[in-house]
Amino acid sequence: MRPGTSSSGARRAAIIVHSGDLDRVMSALILGNGALAMGLETTLFFTFWGLLRLRRGGLERAPLSKMNLLGLGRWLMQRRMRRAKVASLARLLEDYRALGGKVIACEMTMEVMGLKREDLQQEWIDSYGTVGTFVNEAKDAAITLFI
Amino acid sequence: MMVPKQSQTSDVAGTQEEGYPMSEVEPEISVDCRGETCPIPLVEFRKAVMRAEPGQIIEVVGTHGPSKEEIPMAVESLGLELIRIEEEGDETWHIFVRR
């Protein structure tokens, strides 16, 4: 293994981002960044409500999983997070991409929700696929999570 | 945690540590993460590793407590060399790593 680069095999993390909630997507992105920092190859598979966050402007529209209160809760939480210097979803995704993290968009969800590739932030997405693609990525992973 | 012998002690800047006089730990890359919280110090450290050439020394300075423990974990996981950890005041730390 070359120092400073990731190796193959079990040094891999595969995370399903099923939720589109701000707090859960944030957890997924923080975990993804952490896995990359530790030298694991990392894949995030965005499906169902999670995929909506990859729509144009989708990161800014993420609601809270609890106490969203028609957006008031989200606004308060974002303000508190800014004060605590917690990185935004956009910054976390940008870092995740800069560290070589992979993003897969679920094509089945795209069909169900009537989303075309041009509706999504295509520059964030490495590949499009369904369950087989994810399982192929996850089969040798040391860390698999469903968020 | 398995870490190189010379990294187990923390000392103040300016002192000479076994095998690593200060003149030998002049970092080629310096990353300032003071005031940043999880996961930014870890992420910025990893970016610096990607920028560094083999053998180059990276310095990360920060104030986030858990990152002082976790960056050395990433150093080990990445197969890099932890040179030293220095404390400055109550919360600031400097971590020196060789790519």
Strand (E) or helix (H) holding B87: strand B81-88
Reduce the DSSP state of residue A91 to 3 states and report it: helix
| pLDDT classification of B95: cutoffs 50, 70, 90 | very high
Tens of pLDDT, residue by residue over B29-85, are: 999 999 999 999 999 999 999 999 999 999 999 999 999 999 999 999 999 999 999
Q: Domain span at residue A124?
A: 12-146
In a domain, A1, yes or no: no
In a domain, A3, yes or no: no
Pick from A3, A37, A39: CB nearest B99: A3
Give me the number of domains chain A comprises: 1
In a domain, A69, yes or no: yes
Give me the number of domains chain B comprises: 1
Cβ–Cβ under 8 Å, residues A48 and A21: no
Confidence (pTM): 0.83
Write the ipTM: 0.83
In a domain, B5, yes or no: no
Contact criterion met (CB < 8 Å) for B47 and A98: yes
A3 contacts in B (CB within 8 Å)? Answer: 54, 78-80, 99
What's the N-to-C CA distance of chain A in angstroms?
A: 30
In a domain, A119, yes or no: yes
**Can you give the CATH number for the domain in which B63 is found?**
3.30.110.40
**pLDDT (tens place) for every residue of chain A, 147 residues total:** 444 444 444 699 999 999 999 999 999 999 999 999 999 999 999 999 999 999 999 999 899 998 888 889 999 988 999 998 999 999 999 999 999 999 999 999 999 999 999 999 999 999 999 999 999 999 999 999 999
Please give the pLDDT value at position A108: 96
Interface of B with A (CB under 8 A): 35-40, 42-43, 45-47, 49-50, 52, 54, 73-74, 77-80, 99
In a domain, B32, yes or no: yes
Kindly identify which residue of chain A lies nearest to residue B33, measuring between CA atoms: A85
Radius of gyration of the CA atoms of chain B, in A? 12
Kindly identify which residue of chain A lies nearest to residue B73, measuring between CA atoms: A38
Contact criterion met (CB < 8 Å) for A33 and B43: yes
In a domain, B6, yes or no: no
Contact criterion met (CB < 8 Å) for B39 and A30: yes
Model confidence at B13: pLDDT above 90: no
Q: Which of B38, B40, B53, B73 to mutate to test the interface with A (most CBs of A within 10 A)?
A: B40
Please give the pLDDT value at position A1: 43
Kindly identify which residue of chain B lies nearest to residue A86, measuring between CA atoms: B37
In a domain, B74, yes or no: yes
In a domain, B42, yes or no: yes
Is B38 one of the annotated active-site residues of the chain? yes
Q: How far is A29 from chain B (nearest CA, A)?
A: 10
Whose tokens are 């952490």? That residue is A34
Please give the pLDDT value at position A10: 63
Q: Domain span at residue B29?
A: 21-98
In a domain, A7, yes or no: no
Model confidence at B7: pLDDT above 50: no
Query: Edge-to-edge, what's the strand order for the sheet holding A143-146?
Result: A127-129, A102-106, A41-46, A12-17, A143-146
Please give the pLDDT value at position A68: 86
**Can you give the CATH number for the domain in which A66 is found?**
3.40.1260.10
Contact criterion met (CB < 8 Å) for A4 and B38: no
* Arithmetic mean of pLDDT, B1-26: 49
In a domain, A120, yes or no: yes
In a domain, B12, yes or no: no
In a domain, A137, yes or no: yes
In a domain, B66, yes or no: yes
Q: Which of B38, B46, B69, B78 is flagged as catalytic?
A: B38
Model confidence at B4: pLDDT above 70: no
Please give the pLDDT value at position A36: 98
Please give the pLDDT value at position B25: 74
In a domain, B2, yes or no: no
